[in-house]
Amino acid sequence: MTDTLFTQAMDHGTGPDDLAADGVVDISDVMQKMAEHKGCGTEGGSGKASCGSSAGPADMAPEIWEKVKNHPCYSEEAHHHYARMHVAVAPACNIQCNYCNRKYDCANESRPGVVSERLTPEQASKKVLAVASTIPQMTVLGIAGPGDPLANPAKTFETFRLISEVAPDIKLCLSTNGLALPDWVDEIAKYKVDHVTITINMVDPEIGQHIYPWIFWENKRLQGYEAAKILTERQMLGLEMLTERGILAKINSVMIPGINDKHLVEVNKAVKSRGAFLHNIMPLISAPEHGTVFGLNGQRGPTAQELKALQDECEGDMNMMRHCRQCRADAVGLLGEDRSAEFTTEKIMAMEVEYDAEGRKAYQQAVESERQAKVAAKASELDGLEKAGDIALLVAVATKGHGIINEHFGHAKEFQIYELTAKGAKFVGHRRVDLYCQGGYGEEDALDTVITAINDCHAVFVAKIGGCPKADLQAAGIEPVDQYAHEFIEQSALVWFKDYLAKIESGEIVHQQRGDAAIRQGALLSQAG
């Protein structure tokens, strides 16, 4: 579906009313505050630093800061500590996308090839409450693919109603392709849906017709230019209506090289001017075995460098969300950490669920202090970075979450990528490698694949690493760094970076650019193990 999840307006310093008034938001300020609510921290390479511009929660309206600070989808810090969950209650869809094969999950939201269980609204709400009581980090509930939640409005809103009755503290979100959105904005407002993600891949039907073969509109199937024209008009109208009502709107776009890659800069301007507060550009994931039109016709996805270049280009205009991963729609637990097996429908229906509101509150307060400690730690390492000049480099980090380097190299299913520049450390994305670490392949191949995935990085930070992979990484020009095990990521990365800069100064090493890296493609196979 259109996700949206990978789905998510906001205004800074003022309230949603002002947002509605002019529709234009200084996104960079907002995000800077979200990411760095304790002051100047990691502003990254592409500028827009609000360091020195008194960025802080002080000048952000408290109700807006409340909306986003614990949001694993919005805040670069929060996503280490909080989790969201998706339930699949709405499998029907009203359009067709060339990157989606609906035999499987929505390609926007999930790893293609992983079928989620379809739940009734009653089952879904029970599951959400059971998970929330077990995992206090669970603060966001999304309805996303497979399917479009607004093509199944009865099931979607019934699920929201059941959950909001018992657990009003859980934030609700949904992702949509936008076709039906204008019809449901008032209902969305009624259930206090926290944010809506719209997947917008184009604002020009000429381009859209190569992405969407058809839409279902007024009881007919429409194709080509006509279909794409209606879709883009509905998406823009829906976005404007959300903005008018002060509902956060996030935009997801799928980057399809040769089709909409350059055009996404236009999309970025169009959505920004209509009040979207975040724009998340995701790579097309495409392989023949996914059975999608793009998979079968050989349409490739972008490389890591192409993706980053586009994100950087759009960032001048608007904040980009880079910590978004194409994770499973019904993933449970901290982002990336899949605990679905503990919560099968069968197990849930047999459970006595008691919603533990108190326990959840206590946990969340503890996390808040931890998070602030981390921000303070990072800020302390910013001095002395001026030496970096124009040097910008990437490092990979093996982590299980909490903003700490706490994963063994060989166990890492993904690496977080940070960009280090004179302005600090900035999170710029994830690289998944899980496919390669499972069964069938020898260690060697697995290692090669990891190297390909992080080939654009100068170093990889791990809690532990064996001798052989260490040597191979060094041979590939990636420095394995294990002396910061169990320490904060950004702080450690900056200490290492300053050390690196000192070595350049002393002539011990010469700074070199690294090559490009591959974005993992064969998601389907990862299920084989």
Partner 1 sequence: MAYKIVASQCTNCTACEALCPNLAISEAKGTFVIDPALCTECIGHFETPQCVAICPVDDTCVLDASQPRYQAA
Binding site for ligand SF4 (CB under 6 A): 1-2, 93, 95-97, 100, 102, 106-108, 145-148, 177
Q: Closest distance between partner 1 and the C-beta of residue 290, in Å?
A: 14
From partner 1, ligand SF4, none, which one binds at residue 177 (CB under 5 to 8 Å depending on kind)?
A: ligand SF4
Q: Closest distance between partner 1 and the C-beta of residue 8, in Å?
A: 25
- Between 88 and 485, whose beta carbon lies closer to ligand SF4? 88
HSE of 493, CA atoms in CB hemisphere, 13 A: 35
- Between 130 and 151, whose beta carbon lies closer to ligand SF4? 151
- Between 48 and 155, whose beta carbon lies closer to partner 1? 155
From ligand SF4, partner 1, none, which one binds at residue 41 (CB under 5 to 8 Å depending on kind)?
A: none
Q: Closest distance between partner 1 and the C-beta of residue 286, in Å?
A: 18
Q: Closest distance between partner 1 and the C-beta of residue 153, in Å?
A: 10
Inter-residue contact 358 to 352 (CB < 8 Å): no
From partner 1, ligand SF4, none, which one binds at residue 401 (CB under 5 to 8 Å depending on kind)?
A: none
Q: Which two tokens stand for residue 225?
A: 């230019």
* Residues 6+ positions from 116 with CB-CB distance below 8 Å: 88, 105, 110, 146, 328, 329, 330
Q: How far apart are CA 398 and CA 424, in angstroms?
A: 19
- Between 40 and 231, whose beta carbon lies closer to partner 1? 231
Question: How big is the CA angle at 172 (ends 16 and 66), to the nearest 5 degrees?
Answer: 45
Q: Lay out the sheet containing 424-432: strands in order across.
A: 424-432, 414-421, 393-397, 457-461, 479-481
* Residues 6+ positions from 331 with CB-CB distance below 8 Å: 85, 86, 337, 338, 339, 340
Q: How far apart are CA 158 and CA 281, in angstroms?
A: 31
Q: Closest distance between partner 1 and the C-beta of residue 92, in Å?
A: 3
Q: How far apart are CA 238 and CA 199, in angstroms?
A: 12
Q: Closest distance between partner 1 and the C-beta of residue 385, in Å?
A: 51
Give the distance from CA 141 to its chain's centroid.
15
- Between 113 and 336, whose beta carbon lies closer to partner 1? 113
* Residues 6+ positions from 177 with CB-CB distance below 8 Å: 1, 2, 3, 93, 94, 95, 97, 148, 198, 199, 231, 235
From ligand SF4, partner 1, none, which one binds at residue 2 (CB under 5 to 8 Å depending on kind)?
A: ligand SF4
- Between 93 and 524, whose beta carbon lies closer to partner 1? 93
* DSSP annotation of 334: B
Q: Judging by DSSP bridges, how do beta strands 479-481 and 220-223 pair with one another?
A: unpaired
From ligand SF4, partner 1, none, which one binds at residue 243 (CB under 5 to 8 Å depending on kind)?
A: none
* DSSP annotation of 140: E
- Between 108 and 235, whose beta carbon lies closer to ligand SF4? 108
From partner 1, ligand SF4, none, which one binds at residue 108 (CB under 5 to 8 Å depending on kind)?
A: ligand SF4
With 0-12 CB in 10 A as exposed, 13-18 as middle and 19+ as buried, what is 421?
buried
Neighbours of 483 (CB within 10 A): 10
- Between 136 and 295, whose beta carbon lies closer to partner 1? 295
Q: Closest distance between ligand SF4 and the C-beta of residue 234, in Å?
A: 13
Residues that bind partner 1 (CB under 8 A): 91-94, 96, 102-103, 118, 146-147, 151-152, 216, 219-221
From partner 1, ligand SF4, none, which one binds at residue 9 (CB under 5 to 8 Å depending on kind)?
A: none
Q: Closest distance between partner 1 and the C-beta of residue 227, in Å?
A: 12
From partner 1, ligand SF4, none, which one binds at residue 411 (CB under 5 to 8 Å depending on kind)?
A: none
